[in-house]
Structure formats: C-alpha cells, structure tokens
Structure 1
C-alpha cells in the first residue's frame, strides 16, 4: 500500500468516530464524491440537505469551476488558479473582448499538443455568478438566487450542472489539470438530493 493510500485509510478510520457529516470531507482526498445514500444516517432533513451541498461544494470550489467563475473579469488557469495568460477579460457577453475572443484560442475540444482546453461554448460565467474565494454557504445562497444564478430555477440547476457539456469539461480537463472530484452524474445526484431535502445551506 502506498504512503498516500495508507494515510487516506488512517484518516478515514479516524473520521468514522466523528459526527456523521464530518467524515464525508475525506472523499475529496481521493478525487471522489460521496453518493447521496452515504448521508442516510443524518436523520434531520435540513442537516442532511446541508451535508449534500457541502459534498457538492468540493466540485463548486474546485479550480475547474472557480477558474471560470472568477471574482474579477479575468479568468484563472490551472490547478494553482493563476491569472490567465495571455491577459484576457470577460467582455460584455462573457466570451471575451472584441480584440481577444475566447474562441480565438479555445476551440471545440482540448488541443493537447499545446495544453489548451476547449469546448464549443467556452466562456466565463456571468459576473453575478462569481464563486472564486467564496465559502460553500455563500455559494449555496448565491446558487439559489435567480438574480445571481443566470435566472435558473432549482430544477434548471440540475440540468445545468448535471448535463451541460461545458460544465462536464471539468471532469475531463485533459493535460496536467486535475479533474473535478467524482463525476458529473455524481454531482447531479447530490444536487438533486439537496433540492429534494429542502435545499438547505451549510453553516
């Protein structure tokens, strides 16, 4: 057993003695997401709902998401979330300035020889959907607010996070980029479970 795997096993064993919600934080260590049924031991629906979102937030706060949901008009790059090079900016429609559109470099698929990611709809999230630097609780409140989530209902969010191909890129980023934890379908299942239990936000 590798040293990293041995450490994970030790941490998981230690966490099993903690409160139920606390132990789920370990799933991010090995790049997975806990399934909704993992939270069945949390009897209170609101607490269980908040636990679902806490698990989902491992995706929402991952660089694969926050790099394109930046706090400023400049996207981020890589696992270190460094400012985008060359310097580019959101532009009025999120697809870049007239002088440097996202599609100038980001094409329909990843271009592995140059390490450039790609998707037909490559662009930044609207400024009101900035997640960079926010806590899971802050993102939770924001993602429920149509004024700050692109005018989406909660059901719309399930389709956006669970089915959108640009969102899905986060799990297939290519190059040396670390994928978002779990899978897109695992994230969709957590989001659906969160909504079905009242869409409560973590503390």
Structure 2
C-alpha cells in the first residue's frame, strides 16, 4: 500500500556505487502491514538464498534492506508508529538527534520475538544506544526531515515529499517520496 523512493546525491564521495557517479535512486521502500509480514518476507527470501544486507530499527520504521540482481537497493519496512505525527514527534527528540540512522537488528532474535507472539509495540521500540553510527563514513548524521510539500493526486493516492538535510555539504542529501493509497 505504501512505497518510498529515495534519491541521493553524494558530492563528498564521488562514486556513489559501482555503477553510478551522479545522483541515483538510493532505494525504493515498500511498507508492510506488520512485523509478522516482515518476518514472513525475510523467511521467503532467505529460503531462496536472498539475505538482507542491513536489518535495522530506524525508530520510525523497522526495516530490512536488500539488493536486487542489478544492485538496486530495496527496503522492506514496517512503520513503528500508528501515525505520521507520532513518527514526527520521535524525530524531534534528543534520542533521534543522537542516532538518526538507527540500531541494527539481530535477525534471529528479532524473528524469534515476532514468532513467539511478543507484543509488536515492544519489538518496535528502538533500543537507546546513545550516539549511533551512520551508513556513511565519518559519522554523518541526518537532521530531522523538513516537510517539503504534500500532494493529493487522483483521489486515492497521497504523495509526501521530505528533504533530509545533512550537517555539511560533503554529505549525501536525500529526497524521500512516499506514496500512500487511500481506500
């Protein structure tokens, strides 16, 4: 029902990936309904030899990142908050400011917790670890996203754009587009 498209320009690192030297689609994200759905998807992919390269609890979402055969990054996620407002409130906390990237998930423990029937809210709560590490060199941290604009496109689709700014001009900058289908 939901999909995100993230475009990254990384002026400080020159080559972003092995195939691209300019702005590129960083990843496409698909939002699943529950952690049980995320575990089911993980198990289906693992059975075919496809492993996530980065399982992470960002705080706003619990996510698993994969590469497709062409090297494009695909993100499967579950929202950790019931509303966008709750997610935004998390993103203006000191906890988020210290670690905007997230905490890596230990997949076996995560899978066991979900399958054992533990309350999803308790699994979704991101552990506090203090200052976290970025996926980019030199511990570059995202600032809280600034809402750019909301669009309503044909009556049942909403697109939200967010620009994720960073501390310096040598860091990646992102534009995240989120599409939601309304019933």
TM-score, normalized by length of structure 1?
Answer: 0.27
More helix by share: 1
More strand by share: 2
Higher Cα radius of gyration: 1
